[in-house]
Amino acid sequence: MEIVRILLPVVIAGGIAVFVVIRMKHKYKKGTLGKKKSKGAQNLLDSLIPLGMVIGCAVAVLLSIFFPISLLTTIGLGAGIGLLFGYFAYEIYSKEAESYS
CA triple 86-99-93, angle to 5 deg: 20
Q: Determine, yes or no, domain membership for 73.
A: yes
Give the span between the Cα atoms of 89 and 55, in whole angstroms.
13
Domain extent for 6: 2-94
Q: What global pTM score does this model have?
A: 0.84
- Note the pLDDT tens digit of each residue in 7-29: 888 999 999 999 999 999 999 99
- Note the pLDDT tens digit of each residue in 18-66: 999 999 999 999 988 888 888 998 888 889 999 999 999 999 999 999 9
Q: Determine, yes or no, domain membership for 99.
A: no
Q: How many domains does the chain have?
A: 1
Q: How far is CA 19 from CA 15, 27, 57, 58, in A?
A: 6, 12, 19, 22
Q: Determine, yes or no, domain membership for 101.
A: no
Q: Determine, yes or no, domain membership for 100.
A: no
Instruction: Determine which of 15-19, 57-61, 83-87, 93-97 has the lowest per-residue pLDDT on average.
Output: 93-97
Q: Determine, yes or no, domain membership for 23.
A: yes
